[in-house]
Structure 1
């Protein structure tokens, strides 16, 4: 059935169409088309609204489910990681607690052991103090033994006090020196950092200024220069003070370049050579007879195998080289034939060459060129350590002053160790 309203709006077909009418009709058709289109979309939406809503809800539900699943998965992963971390930290904590408990037990055991050791050490110290008269022996061999006991057994502070006190109370120079050497060795090994020593080059004037007594020695300047030249020749720059201290001590500031066998009494002879004479009476016939005394104490020793060797190869030079075997070694080192002319070791340049050559050899063997290092290499009882260290402290500004206050006789005399 046709719509009457539309028909009244359309002009008669027989009427000729004007341009305006055709334009009107096109606009009208466009309007009708848009209107029908709107009706179709709205109708579709109205008729399928429930389905569309259901679809939207379904999509949203699926999206929420997916997000929930991802969240649950991440949450489980984080929880497992957290649990693993907690387990690891708990294991580490248990191990740390166990290690601390073990260390604590060790410390307790060490403290108990230290307490027992301290008790033993002080018991020994008390016993030694009670027997002070026996400890004050003048027998050098017993002194060395007692000194070793004191230095190795007693606590450091007790050993220092004991060795210093023994040095101050000794009545014989060699005994006094032995205890002073022990005190200096303990002092140098106290674990303190090294002093700020000045290692600048040293000159003859520096040495004489440090040791004014050298001004009274006629050839002191020349001998000092010989030592400095020898140190340079053997590439011992920086160790000149150690070499000088050693040479100055053993030569009694250049006044004793060879061993003196002229003693005034049998007591002095017996004290100087205790292994050769058990009593002063045995030494009486050797007083005033230097050659006979040298033969008595050095024949068939130190490489001496011919009559007269003991006297020819007696102690000379800054190292107190003694015996044919030692002279042969020095000859090889210095390229000077000391076997043929042993008396050359009294000469300053030859003595300087020998001590520099020997010290250079020690350095090549890895020995430290310090006072302690050299003295311990030269003799196992570190004889002369206190005296040499005392001179070194005067030559080197800034060095540790461990010999301050020790008896002066321990610092200026050469102690025989034979």
Structure 2
């Protein structure tokens, strides 16, 4: 895939194309994301997760209703959602949101782990366990330096590692199943993922959804 085709597949242009071309192509090569269909789905998924390749750290600026939609009413009952989510009385309390959303799971055991190991990279690696496993694979101490996943090269490599760890090549023709592997049962943003997948498939000249 040359840079012009990459721009069409990703929807990027100018400096954004230059910024991401080599990092993403190298990451896909490293983790054997090689077929046109798998590349289309991978790029669609990371494009959505990173808000168009622009955000490498999780956006936790949720309203009370957003917290309940994304994380559930059991974890964020109405009173808690109102006290932490952004509203007319105060901005979102980002650290508290992360710790409540991710505390006690995903390998997070210590107070503050939810915030320290919040989603980062093109596919939003989340939780101490995933940071540890990703760090082993990429030979980086991500437990000590979690912010490394906000560098372009590791943002792309971590995304490709996660894709491979979830065997997403095997489901790359199925948007819903692949999204569930990446985003969990919430399968948030399906319409945007579908739009990006269709754009990528069209650019690559393959049939898709």
Structure 1 position 237 matched with structure 2 position 13:
no
Structure 1 position 267 matched with structure 2 position 65:
yes
| CA–CA separation in structure 1 for the residues paired with 2:4 and 2:134 | 30
Match of 1:277 among 71, 76, 82: 76
Match of 1:308 among 106, 112, 115: 112
| CA–CA separation in structure 1 for the residues paired with 2:186 and 2:104 | 25
Equivalent residue pairs, number: 196
Give a deviation string over 1:187-243, Cα, whole Å, max 9, x none: xxxxxxxxxxxxxxx23322323555x338x54432232111111223332233332
Q: 1:371 to 1:319 in 2, by over 3 A?
A: farther
SS at match of 1:367: helix
Structure 1 position 330 matched with structure 2 position 166:
no
What TM-score do you get using the length of structure 2 for normalisation? 0.78
Unaligned runs of 5+ in 1: 1-201, 403-418
Map 1:149-298; keep pairs closer than 5 Å. 202-210=1-9, 212=11, 214-215=12-13, 218-238=15-35, 239-263=38-62, 265-274=63-72, 275-279=74-78, 281-286=79-84, 287=86, 288=91, 289-298=93-102
Q: Quote the RMSD (CA, aligned, Å).
A: 2.8
| CA–CA separation in structure 2 for the residues paired with 1:225 and 1:240 | 14
Q: Is the 8 A contact 2:132 2:142 kept in 1?
A: yes
CA displacement at 1:326 relative to structure 2: 1.2
Match of 1:411? none
Larger-Rg structure: 1
Map 1:56-135; keep pairs closer than 5 Å. none
| CA–CA separation in structure 1 for the residues paired with 2:104 and 2:146 | 18
Q: Is the 8 A contact 1:224 1:244 kept in 2?
A: no
| CA–CA separation in structure 2 for the residues paired with 1:266 and 1:366 | 36
Q: 1:257 to 1:388 in 2, by over 3 A?
A: same
Match of 1:36? none
Match of 2:192? 387
Q: Is the 8 A contact 2:10 2:44 kept in 1?
A: no
What TM-score do you get using the length of structure 1 for normalisation? 0.42
CA displacement at 1:313 relative to structure 2: 0.2
Q: 1:210 to 1:331 in 2, by over 3 A?
A: closer
